[in-house]
Structures are given as structure tokens and as C-alpha cells.
Amino acid sequence: MAGGLRAAGLALGWGCCLLLCCAAASKLEVSTPAVVKVEVGGTARIECNFHIPGNGSYTYVDWFYVDRTNTPVRLCHVTDTEVLKEDTDYKERLSVGEDKALSISKVTMQDARTFVCQVGAGSSGVGENRTELHVYKVPETPEIEPNPAGISVQNSDNSQIARCVSRNSFPPPNITWHKNGEQLQLQENQVKYTRTRESSGLYTVTSTLFAPVTREDRDSRYHCTVHYWLRGQRHALESQKVQITVFYPAEHLTLQVVPSSALVKEGDNVKLVCEADGNPPPVFSFYKKELDNDWQDLSWLTEPNSGVLTLHGVNKSSSGVYKCQSLDLDDMTELEKNVELVVNYIEGVRVKMEPSSNLREGDSVTLSCDAHSPVALDYQWRDEKGRKVAEGNQLFLRNLTFETSNNFSCKVVAPSVPGLEQSKQVSVAVQGKPRIVAISSPLYVRQDEVVNLTCKAIAFPRPSVHWNVNGTAHEYVDNQHIASNLTVRVSHDLLRAGAMCRVSNTLGVSEKHIQLLDRKTTAESQGVIIVAIIVAILVVAVLGAIIYFLHKKGKIPCGRAGKQDITRPEARKDKIVVEVKSDKLPEEAGLLQGANGEKRPAADQ
């Protein structure tokens, strides 16, 4: 009942105010902005300015909003001393500034309505003005989804290209479509719009693009743009750029050898790669041309769902013409391409030796190498250690010896085909009678001692080694070299006579004597020599001491300085006098002193 009376009173007051406003329009002026725009979640501020004639003061300021039934609902009553808020949905969100401006925080879509500022000024009457509050929401970045199924160029009708979705905006935005950066001018049947208002009051707008496609569209990029207005200016948000899957038949077919056919050699693994420019790829089949011009089907060797034929360990017989055939399952069109596979090879490597008869030390020999290949060949000669000794298809060996390498190899190389090479070995056997190259002589031993006697020789054919004494022999053979170690106990006869090593083969005999020396006798001889040396040293030392003693006693005058009589026969002693005058510095005068360091009298100098 009270609420109804209150509403009736407000309505009556509203009507009276309108009459007073009309009557006092010339006295009181109230101005507010016609439109205020605010984003959802922001704060809306509506100013209210008024002019009272004669510098009069206001009595109150009331703020209203107009509901859906066009009924004003008061929000607050403002006087000089207080602000009285009505019990409305805005009570917790509104505030009034010192300039009487109304602020509404946390704006929602439901706040988009008309607000009224009413000013009462006593005798100047009542004035008011109204403001439309427009609420907007900037749309989110649009999402674009390309057609996931793909589109065939053979479909003449418009096909769905992509769908663009703009969410949570107010008012609803516009959407345009772009291809490769350029805006599309679309017909009505090429775009479909749907607009949905969510419970929040915001809009979700969906635009779907329809268009025919060509082969070139496999590389095209599509995106959509959302356009909206903000504070009188137009803004735009772009989606990501997407590509669509386009299906089209193959127009061209390629077939190539990997690696290049010019570099294929025997033993390689080769791939024949067949590619078509259709999408999806067609079905591939492989064939090889036979001698009778028939085609052998090799499709069973291909990798599943691919255009790759792998040939493992190719050889000379793998050369020939191969064919790839493609079949498009959409329109059943066929394409084919041929390629020739050339497998490079080296065969028939042989080495000829002249003369081919038995070789003796001092002889010369010529080795010739030959091979067959469809490409140019180079020849290299290497010894048994792998060292290159010559180039060319011939090797000349002069003045052969046992030390000449036994085995030589001819290496045949194809420079134009990396890795294509073959080798052939030949043995050069130099024959001759044995030659003893080392023996363990002389050998210092003791009687009854067990020693090893060594005899090394070189020969071909393989020789045999014989010793003239009994013992245990061990032989070691390395090519033409032979070594014999004889383990024997030293007897008196062996020590006296020594041992004989005899090496023989069908071409001759060589012998050498091993001398054994008694280590005890040798040690005694060395002892005598050492004693003799010591005695000689002692004799020299005694003589030196005697001479020094005589010199100290003055018996030997050669140590004196100054004037000196040279020993002569008496008859000539008075005729030959040697006088030495000293002009030395004082510190050098010591050189003229006696052997005992004392100065001599002048008469003695």
C-alpha cells in the first residue's frame, strides 16, 4: 500500500515538475550529454550542468532512469548536505560527484537505457534533461575454421571454404572475407550470416564463406575481419590466415633416379622416385622393359602408398628402362614416365707378368693391368703395405732381390663415379740360393750353460736349416725369410769348435760359423788388463812425487825465475848466459818468487 502511494506520489511529482519546467523554462536551464558510451565492465559518468538566473541556488538534484514501460524511476535525491540513494539495483553501483555528475560502475548490457537529471531551484522552477547511455563490448579476436574435409576442383557449385566466428560483442559487428590479403566481393549466395544474442546480452556472429576453387587455391590463404565502431571511429580485428585442402587431378608426372643415374655403381641401393602434381597423390605402378619389349611389373617392390621403388645391391643386369604409371581414382586418368638406369661397373680385372717364368735375383719384370668398364679408368699400383708405388697400367721392376715386395696389387678406379674401384693382386716370387743375413756370433757362454744359437736367412724356394750340433731347433718363416733358433747345452767340444749353420734349397747352399767364447777366460783376461793399468797409474804417481820432492829441495833448477844458467858443458858455461829482466807489475812479481813462496836474494836471481 505504502509502495503504491509512493509510486503515485512520484508520478504526480513528475507530472508537476513537467508543468513547472514548462512554466519556468525561461528561468532554469539543465544540460546533459545526449549520448554517453561506455564499455561493458567500465564506469559510466553522466554530467549534469544547470544555470539558475540571478545566481540563484538549487534546492535539489534528482537522478532517474526510464524503465522498459517508459516509467521514470528515481535513483537518488541530492541536496547541499546529503545524497539519498533509492533502493534500486543501482544503489551499490552509483555515486554522485561534487559537480552532481552521476557515475555508474561495473556497467552491464542492461544499463543501456535513458537517464534523467532533474534540478529544482525554488522560485526558479524545475528543469531537467536526459542522456542515452550506450553500452558496447569490443568483440574478441575472430576464430576461423577451414573446411576440414577438403574441396575438389571438379565441384562446380560453391563449396564451403571456411567459417568465421565473432564472440561477445555489442552491438553486433560486421564480418568481411579476404583471400591472399584482398577483400572478396561476395554475392548473397556466397556468404551466410547468423547472429545470436547470449544471456549476457552480448552477440555471437557467425559468417560462412562459400566459393568455387581452382588448383591455384591450394596455395591461397583466407582470413576474416570483424569491423566495429568505437567512439565514433571504425576498428577491425583480423583472424589467423588459413589454407584449405584442394583436391585436383595430376597433370604432370616426374620419374628420377636417386642418386643420379650417372653416379650409380654396382652394389649401390637405388631409388626410383615417381611424383605427380595431383592431390591426393594417384596410385603408382612400376615396370621394367624386358629384351622382348614386354614390361615386367615391379609394383610389388614399391613402398606402400608411395611412389618409390627401391632396388637393393644393383648390378650390371639392373641397367635398363624403367616406367612409372599413375592412376587418378577420381577421374581414372593415367599418366606415365620413363627413365633409363645405368649401373656403372668394372669387370675383368687381370694382371699379366712378363716374363712369366721363374725370376732370379737381378732380373727385371713388367706387370701389366687391364679391365673393362663403360667409363674411363685409372690404374694405380700398390705394394703389400698399401703404399702407392706407381700409376698407369704397367709397373716395371728392375734388379729384383729377395727384399723386393712379394705381392703387388693393381687398383682400378673410375674417377667419374666416386667409390667405383676394384683391385687385383699378383705375387712376384724372386728365386735364389739362400743368403744368411744374421747369426748370433760371437757368443759369450759358459760351459754347461744352455744357450740359444740363432741363424737367419732369406731364400726362395723355401730353404731348410741344418745345424752340425745336436739340440732343439725352432723355425719361424715369414715370406722368404726363415729363422732358426737352436737350444743347446755348451760342452767342451762345442766351446772349442763352435757351431755351423747350413741353409739350403734346390738352388744352392749357404753356411756360416758361430764362434763361442768362454766367458770365464774372457773375465780373467780382463782382470789382468785392469791390474796392469792400475800398476801403471801407481808408477806414474810415484815418479811425479819424486820429481815434486826434488823440486822443493831445489835440486831441480827449472822451477827458478830471473837469470838462469842453462845446463851446458863446462867449457861453454861462461859463454852462454840468459838474462831475464822483469818488467811485471808488483802483483805479478810473485811469478818470479821461489817455489817456496819466498823472495830470492838478488844474487840468486
> Distance between CA atoms of 397 and 363, rounded to whole angstroms?
9
Same domain, 231 and 284: no
On whether residue 540 sits in a domain, the answer given is: no
22 domain residue, yes or no: no
Strand ordering across the sheet containing 94-96:
44-46, 102-104, 94-96
Do 234 and 324 lie in one domain? The reply is: no
φ and ψ of 32, to 5 deg: -135, 155
Domain annotation covers residue 418: yes
pLDDT of amino acid 227:
95
Residue 164 pairs in a beta bridge with 144, 207
Among 188, 217, 247, residue at a domain's last position: 247
149 and 223 both lie in a single domain: yes
What's the pLDDT tens digit per position in 224-253? Answer: 999 998 877 899 999 999 999 999 999 999
The pLDDT of residue 530 is 78
Q: Residues 13-32: what's their mean pLDDT?
A: 56
Task: Return the pLDDT at 564.
Answer: 38
pLDDT on residue 24? 40
Residues 148 and 233 in one domain: yes
In a domain, 158, yes or no: yes
Positive or negative: CA dihedral 216, 218, 220, 225: positive
Question: Do 127 and 199 lie in a common domain?
Answer: no
Are residue 207 and residue 290 in the same domain, yes or no?
A: no
Based on the domain organization, do 240 and 157 belong to the same domain? yes
pLDDT at residue 124 in the model: 86
**Do residues 463 and 505 make contact, with C-beta atoms less than 8 angstroms apart?**
yes
Cell numbers for 540: 806414474
181 and 221 both lie in a single domain: yes
If you compute the radius of gyration of the chain from its CA atoms, what whole number of angstroms results?
Answer: 63
Nearest by Cα to 340 from 391, 400, 414, 289? 289
- The per-residue pLDDT for range 356-414, each reduced to its tens digit, is 778 888 889 999 999 999 999 999 999 888 899 999 999 999 988 887 767 899 999 99
Residues 6 or more apart whose Cβ sits within 8 Å of residue 530: none
* Spatial contact of 151 and 88, defined as CB atoms under 8 Å apart: no
Mean pLDDT of the chain: 84
Within a domain: residue 554? Answer: no
Establish if 7 belongs to a structural domain.
Answer: no
CATH number for the domain that contains residue 316: 2.60.40.10
Say how many domains are in the chain: 5
Cβ atoms of 78 and 122 closer than 8 Å: no
- In percent, the amount of the chain with pLDDT more than 70 equals 85
User: Which position has the grid cell 621403388?
Assistant: 309
- Say yes or no: 243 and 144 in one domain: yes
Hey, how many other C-beta atoms are within 10 angstroms of the C-beta on 392?
Answer: 12
Domain boundary among 481, 498, 518: 518
CA–CA separation, 66 vs 64, rounded Å? 7
Domain boundary among 428, 462, 492: 428
Report d(CA 263, CA 70) in Å as an integer.
92
Sign of CA dihedral 275, 277, 278, 280: positive
In whole angstroms, what is the distance from residue 434 CA to residue 457 CA?
A: 6
Contact predicate 88/102, CB 8 Å: no
pLDDT at position 346 is: 93
Q: Are 94 and 103 in contact (CB under 8 A)?
A: yes
Query: Is residue 493 domain-shared with residue 469, that is, in the same domain?
Result: yes
Kindly state whether residue 103 falls inside one of the protein's structural domains: yes
Is residue 156 domain-shared with residue 242, that is, in the same domain? yes
By residue range, what is the domain housing residue 188?
A: 140-247
pLDDT digits (tens, 9 = 90+) for 408-435: 999 999 999 999 999 999 988 888 889 8
The pLDDT score that the predictor gives to residue 5 is 32
pLDDT band at 53 (very low <50, low <70, confident <90, very high): confident
The answer to whether the CB of 255 falls within 8 A of the CB of 272 is: yes
Same domain, 422 and 439: no
pLDDT in tens, 146-202: 999 989 998 878 999 999 999 999 889 999 999 999 999 999 899 999 999 988 889
Number of residues that make up the chain: 605
Per-residue pLDDT reduced to its tens digit, 273-294:
999 999 999 999 999 999 888 9
277 in a structural domain: yes
Distance CA 162, CA 156 (A): 17
Task: Locate 344 and state its grid cell.
Answer: 656403372
